Structure 1
Amino acid sequence: MTSREFTERDIHLALDGELPADERAGYERWLDAHPDMKARSGRYQADSDLLRSALAGVLDEAVPDRLAKIMTGEAPPVRNLAPPRWRMAAAAALIFAVGGLGGYFLGISGWRPVDATAAQLADGAIAAHAIYAAEKLHVVEVGADQKEHLVNWLSKRIGVTLVAPDLTANGFELIGGRLLPAAATKTAAQFMYQDRTGNRVSLYVARDASSTETGFRLLEEGDTRALYWLDDGYGCAIAGNLPEKDLLTIANSAYRQLLEGMEG
Structure 2
Amino acid sequence: MADNRKNPESQFSAQLDGQLSETESAALDALLDNDPATRAKMDALRYANDLGRQQFEAMLKEPVSLDLVRSIKTASEPRRVVQLPETPLDKVKVRIKPTLATVVASSLLMFGLGAGAGYMFGARPSMTTFADLAGDPGKAWLDDVTSHYRLFSRQSRHLVELPANESAHIVEWLMATTGVSFRIPDLTEDGLEFIGARLYSAGGRPVGQLVYRNSESEVIAISFAKSMAPSDTEMREVIRDDIGLVTWQGLQASYVLTGPSSDAFLDTLAAKVARII
Q: What TM-score do you get using the length of structure 2 for normalisation?
A: 0.51
Residue 213, structure 1, aligned to residue 242, structure 2 = no
| Partner residue, 2:167 | 147
Residue 229, structure 1, aligned to residue 258, structure 2 = no
Contact 1:121–1:237, Cα closer than 8 Å, also in 2? no
Contact 2:229–2:254, Cα closer than 8 Å, also in 1? no
Residue 167, structure 1, aligned to residue 167, structure 2 = no
Percentage identity across aligned positions?
Answer: 22
Contact 2:237–2:245, Cα closer than 8 Å, also in 1? yes
Gap change, CA 1:242 and 1:211, over 3 Å in 2: closer
Q: What TM-score do you get using the length of structure 1 for normalisation?
A: 0.54
Q: Is the partner of 1:202 in helix, strand or coil?
A: strand
1:236 CA displacement: 0.4
| Partner residue, 1:253 | 272
| Partner residue, 1:115 | 136
- d(CA) in 2 for partners of 1:135 and 1:209? 28
1:183 CA displacement: 1.9
Q: Number of matched residues?
A: 157
**Gap regions ≥5 residues in structure 1:** 1-45, 52-92, 105-112, 259-264
Gap change, CA 1:151 and 1:215, over 3 Å in 2: same
| Partner residue, 2:125 | 50
What RMSD, in angstroms, separates the aligned Cα atoms of the two structures?
2.6
1:91-138 C-alpha deviation (Å, 9 max, x unpaired): xx8xx2xx59x532xxxxxxxx36312x23322222221111110110
**Within 5 Å, which residues of 2 pair with 1:65-104?**
96=128, 99=129, 102-104=131-133
Rg comparison, structure with higher value? 2
1:244 CA displacement: 5.4
Gap change, CA 1:209 and 1:225, over 3 Å in 2: closer
| Partner residue, 2:211 | 192
- d(CA) in 2 for partners of 1:169 and 1:128? 27
Greater relative contact order structure (CA < 8 Å, 6+ sep): 2
1:40-82 C-alpha deviation (Å, 9 max, x unpaired): xxxxxx9x9639xxxxxxxxxxxxxxxxxxxxxxxxxxxxxxx
Contact 2:141–2:228, Cα closer than 8 Å, also in 1? no
| Partner residue, 1:137 | 157
Gap change, CA 1:210 and 1:201, over 3 Å in 2: closer
